[in-house]
A and B are shown apart, each in its own frame.
Chain A
Amino acid sequence: MEFDLPLIWASLIAFAVLTYVLLDGFDLGVGILFPFFRKGEERDYAMNTVAPVWDGNETWLVLGGGGLFATFPLAYAVVLPALYAPITIMLLGLIFRGVAFEYRWRSGSSQGLWDLAFTVGSVTAALCQGIALGALIQGIPVADRAYAGGWWHWLSPFSLLTGVAVVVGYALLGATWLVMKTTGPVRERSHRFAWIAAIGTFLLIGLVSLWTPFLDPIFMARWFGFPQILYVVPVPILVAAAAFALFRGLRNQNDGQPFFAAQALFILSYLGLGISFFPYIVPPAMTIREAAAPDESLLFLLVGAAVLIPLILAYTAYAYWVFRGKVDPSEGYH
């Protein structure tokens, strides 16, 4: 039996990145919304909802990077120099917000500083991830197995737009997460943020979706050519359905529905990107097959991944199960 190993791995890397976005998205979102909660109790409460899981969430980003290095080393070697500045700044942002989880409990009077670091780090990381995405969609010049552009190539109106879109989208994930996990004033405020962020997210998704086809004729043909349009038309229809579920859930004060509808929205947008990209991994210069490591490498890692990824998903699910349900704000204050 023949396996198309590069395709399998492209799917697995895409899955890792999507999982990262879905999971770390909401805890970055909590960081983005952090300054809108009152110092002390409210912020403690918001942070408590993500403290036990953020670390595992971020590990999916390491898998995205490490997996790309392993299975598509050429893409890794081209994309990271191309996105040098946004990636570096994202890493610095992640440092600030990551250590804030521990530091703010240890810092006494300077807690406000680490609260600020948590927010600034989260916003920066989200913005840079969005910019990196936009820069990748725009295309990266490649010559002779190396990045061939300047060090400002990633910066454009389009990449700034995708940057803002990701910040607003993560804020939506964070707000709906807090709606699900909290009670009282934090939930009420998060509910209001969820409305605002939801409207913003839809406007921005619309804008990015309309702009993308004009960046590259390949994207245009994929979305508006015939008969391809018949295959892709379910995506916007499902987006509308997710939007309906999201707003309805918010209106009815449901706990979980807005969060899962927001997640669905992210999955669909991601699927849309996948449709635009395929079969490229670095559009328009490099296809999945061109960038792939030799089959020996792909197979060797696949054997382990086939065992380990289900295992990881199982114990990640277990960790979420242990910390399921509403977080009790009073606990810890006796």
Chain B
Amino acid sequence: MPELYDAVLLARIQFAFTIAFHIVFPAFSIGLASYLAVLEGLWLYTKRDVYLQAFRYWMKIFAVVFGMGVVSGIVMSYQFGTNWSVFSDKTGPILGPLMAYEVLSAFFLEAGFLGVMLFGMNKVGPRLHFFATAMVALGTFFSAFWILSVNSWMQTPAGYAINDVGQFIPVDWWAAIFNPSFPYRLVHMVLAAYLTTAFVVGGVSAWHLLRDRSNEAARVMFSMAMWMAAIVAPIQIFAGDLHGLNTLEHQPAKVAAMEGHFETRKGAPLILFGLPDMEAEEVRFAIEIPKLGSFILTHDWDGEIKGLKEWAPEDRPNVPIVFWSFRIMVGLGVLMMLLGAWSLYQRYRRKLFENDLLLRAAILMAPTGFIALLAGWVTTEVGRQPYTVYGLLRTTDSVSPIDAPAVALSLLAFVIVYFTVFGAGVYYVLKLMSHPPHPGESGPPAEQPIRAAGLTPGPAQPQHEPAE
């Protein structure tokens, strides 16, 4: 049925499009919220103004990013019903409560304390304000916890039974929440969020350091960002490897697509690059290292690796997409680790802020966290196809009974609105980033009002001060 197929494809594109935008904002705000909490904590502990400067600088950016995350997130919470109603009916008894826990434990916490964090410093005092910042950070972490549990359950379902109307019903909540791939995915994603933020902070501070090496706030930011790169990037690669081994255990077809293996063989090579051809069932022009594939995946030079031919063609994910997105993610991860190592060397030589090449590289690397994050997400989600609940519920059987034109129209509307709205948002964030952090960061507002006050306003201390 080509008609139905079109509606499914359009619904998939719509979901991929809206979540691709959405995933970027929370990932950045998970990292940024923790960074803000650290900065404010350091400020309270050391009383050094430079931490407050950095805190205020990134808080303005956080406010815009968080706003975009909220509105793109509301769309997600309804899209399951509008476009994937059969999926919602069938998985609701298990995934619904997990998502509801996300709302109850995370979204309210973030939203409730965000107002205090942005506007309340002069009303509640620094200590309570720090508490509010920490609650926002905690909220972003809870949010990651629950939504990744949901996502992991779709990849590696556990703790369920199927009732007489075809719904997945809970049997063991603990098993469902802590399903086999969840711990790995959670660690991998949270580290990715931290790295993404670290590279944005590193790039922005490097940009300002190239113009003014004495900018103390920029020096502090850059140093912190490079510590993160040096420490977290290697950990992330290790965590990613564990996650990959877990995937091999539970979703071998996905790993076969990632590696580009069509044939099942012992002593399989590691294919570095090549052009996967799903029709011909081979990787053309493959550049490969003999036996390394088996060694990485099984820790045995002659270990057996299952190839995609083990599965019927209609049960395989799209190989070129998974193959390439995986390489983009890994490649960027390696670059991140190298930058971190380089920064350690320059730090050791006491040239961390003086080496132009390092600063330029940091600027170039600023967006790579986002790209790696999206590439990793494409790898795992496209690799889950053709199922929504892996091995149990096909994507084609998950979709709403909505006509293709209606899905197409709403997709078009989302595309236009997202590019306009989030394009403008990114522009405003870049505009904020183009201003160097400065001691006046804490000064009184110039032309912009602060946005709320109570009966007992303290001295005007804007948390939200103008960009100009």
Q: Is B114 an interface residue (CB 8 A)?
A: yes
A-chain residues with CB within 8 Å of residue B439 when the two chains form the complex = none
CB <8 Å contact, B71 and A99: yes
CB <8 Å contact, B454 and A323: yes
Distance of B444 from chain A, by nearest CB (Å) = 6
Q: Is A80 an interface residue (CB 8 A)?
A: yes
Q: Is A326 an interface residue (CB 8 A)?
A: yes
Contact of B402 among A56, A84, A96 (CB under 8 A): A84
Using A95-B417, A323-B452 as known contacts, say yes or no to A67 and B81 having CB atoms under 8 A apart: no
Q: Is B42 an interface residue (CB 8 A)?
A: no
A-chain residues with CB within 8 Å of residue B454 when the two chains form the complex = 322-325, 327
CA distance A45 to B432 in the complex (A): 23
CB <8 Å contact, A58 and B111: yes
Residue of A whose beta carbon sits closest to that of B135 = A315
Using A103-B428, A323-B119 as known contacts, say yes or no to A59 and B100 having CB atoms under 8 A apart: no
Query: In the complex, how many residues of chain A place their beta carbon closer than 8 angstroms to a beta carbon of chain B?
Result: 82
A-chain residues with CB within 8 Å of residue B107 when the two chains form the complex = 59, 62-63
CB <8 Å contact, A51 and B452: yes
Binds A, one of B355-363, B370-378, B456-464: B456-464
Contact of A319 among B105, B115, B167 (CB under 8 A): B115
Interface residues in B108-123 by Cβ distance below 8 A to A read: 108-109, 111-116, 118-120, 123
Contact of A325 among B103, B171, B455 (CB under 8 A): B455
Binds B, one of A192-200, A222-230, A253-261, A293-301: A293-301
CB <8 Å contact, A322 and B123: yes
Q: Is B186 an interface residue (CB 8 A)?
A: no
Contact of A96 among B114, B421, B432 (CB under 8 A): B421
* Interchain Cβ contacts within 8 Å, total number: 290
Q: Is B312 an interface residue (CB 8 A)?
A: no
B-chain residues with CB within 8 Å of residue A319 when the two chains form the complex = 112-113, 115-116
CB <8 Å contact, B77 and A66: yes
Interface residues in A122-150 by Cβ distance below 8 A to B read: 145-148
B92-109 toward A: CB 8 Å interface, digit per residue (1/0)? 111111111111110111
Distance of B99 from chain A, by nearest CB (Å) = 5
CB <8 Å contact, A151 and B93: no
Interface residues in A42-93 by Cβ distance below 8 A to B read: 44-45, 47-49, 51-53, 55-56, 58-59, 61-63, 65-74, 76-81, 84-85, 87-89, 91-92
Using A65-B78, A80-B78 as known contacts, say yes or no to A56 and B88 having CB atoms under 8 A apart: no
CA distance A107 to B466 in the complex (A): 11
CB <8 Å contact, A322 and B124: yes
CB <8 Å contact, A66 and B421: no
Residue of A whose beta carbon sits closest to that of B80 = A69
B-chain residues with CB within 8 Å of residue A325 when the two chains form the complex = 454-455
B-chain residues with CB within 8 Å of residue A74 when the two chains form the complex = 89, 92
Using A56-B115, A59-B107, A88-B413 as known contacts, say yes or no to A328 and B453 having CB atoms under 8 A apart: yes
CA distance A308 to B101 in the complex (A): 9
Using A87-B82, A106-B431 as known contacts, say yes or no to A315 and B94 having CB atoms under 8 A apart: no
CB <8 Å contact, A56 and B111: yes
Q: Is B425 an interface residue (CB 8 A)?
A: yes
Using A52-B115, A300-B173 as known contacts, say yes or no to A65 and B450 having CB atoms under 8 A apart: no
Distance of B384 from chain A, by nearest CB (Å) = 20
Contact of A84 among B72, B88, B410, B448 (CB under 8 A): B410
B298-310 toward A: CB 8 Å interface, digit per residue (1/0)? 0000000000000
Residue of B whose beta carbon sits closest to that of A69 = B96
Interface residues in B324-359 by Cβ distance below 8 A to A read: none
CA distance A286 to B211 in the complex (A): 66
Residue of A whose beta carbon sits closest to that of B414 = A92
A-chain residues with CB within 8 Å of residue B414 when the two chains form the complex = 92
CA distance A85 to B82 in the complex (A): 9
CA distance A95 to B119 in the complex (A): 22
A-chain residues with CB within 8 Å of residue B210 when the two chains form the complex = none
B-chain residues with CB within 8 Å of residue A69 when the two chains form the complex = 77, 80-81, 88, 92, 95-96, 99-100
B-chain residues with CB within 8 Å of residue A58 when the two chains form the complex = 70, 74, 111
CB <8 Å contact, A51 and B119: yes
Most interface-central of B89, B414, B450 (chain A CB within 10 A): B89
CB <8 Å contact, A56 and B100: no
Q: Give the interface size bracket for B toward A.
A: 35 or more
A313-334 toward B: CB 8 Å interface, digit per residue (1/0)? 0011011001111111001111
CB <8 Å contact, B97 and A52: no
Q: Is A231 an interface residue (CB 8 A)?
A: no
Contact of B170 among A56, A81, A297 (CB under 8 A): A297
CA distance A78 to B400 in the complex (A): 9
A-chain residues with CB within 8 Å of residue B403 when the two chains form the complex = 151
CB <8 Å contact, A95 and B97: no
Residue of B whose beta carbon sits closest to that of A41 = B449
A-chain residues with CB within 8 Å of residue B171 when the two chains form the complex = 296
CA distance A92 to B417 in the complex (A): 7
Q: Is A241 an interface residue (CB 8 A)?
A: no
Contact of B119 among A52, A72, A84, A102 (CB under 8 A): A52
CA distance A333 to B457 in the complex (A): 14
CB <8 Å contact, B451 and A332: yes
CA distance A148 to B401 in the complex (A): 8
CA distance A80 to B107 in the complex (A): 22
CA distance A322 to B452 in the complex (A): 10
Contact of A62 among B73, B400, B452 (CB under 8 A): B73
A-chain residues with CB within 8 Å of residue B109 when the two chains form the complex = 315
B-chain residues with CB within 8 Å of residue A29 when the two chains form the complex = none
Residue of A whose beta carbon sits closest to that of B117 = A52
CB <8 Å contact, A77 and B425: no
CA distance A143 to B175 in the complex (A): 34
CB <8 Å contact, B421 and A99: yes
CB <8 Å contact, B467 and A106: yes
Binds A, one of B61-69, B187-195, B223-231, B288-296: B61-69
CA distance A212 to B370 in the complex (A): 51
Interchain residue pairs A-B with the least CB separation, the first 6: A73-B92, A80-B81, A70-B96, A332-B449, A52-B115, A325-B455
Interface residues of A (CB under 8 A from B): 41, 44-45, 47-49, 51-53, 55-56, 58-59, 61-63, 65-74, 76-81, 84-85, 87-89, 91-92, 94-96, 98-99, 101-103, 105-108, 145-148, 151, 293-294, 296-297, 300-301, 304-305, 308-309, 312, 315-316, 318-319, 322-328, 331-334
Given contacts A70-B100, A146-B89, 7 further A-B pairs with CB under 8 A are A73-B96, A76-B85, A102-B67, A305-B104, A319-B113, A319-B115, A319-B116
Offer 23 A-B interface pairs, CB within 8 angstroms, sorted by A. Answer: A48-B449, A52-B115, A52-B118, A63-B108, A74-B92, A80-B78, A88-B413, A89-B413, A94-B71, A98-B67, A102-B67, A105-B448, A147-B85, A147-B400, A294-B169, A301-B97, A318-B112, A319-B113, A322-B454, A327-B452, A328-B453, A332-B445, A332-B448
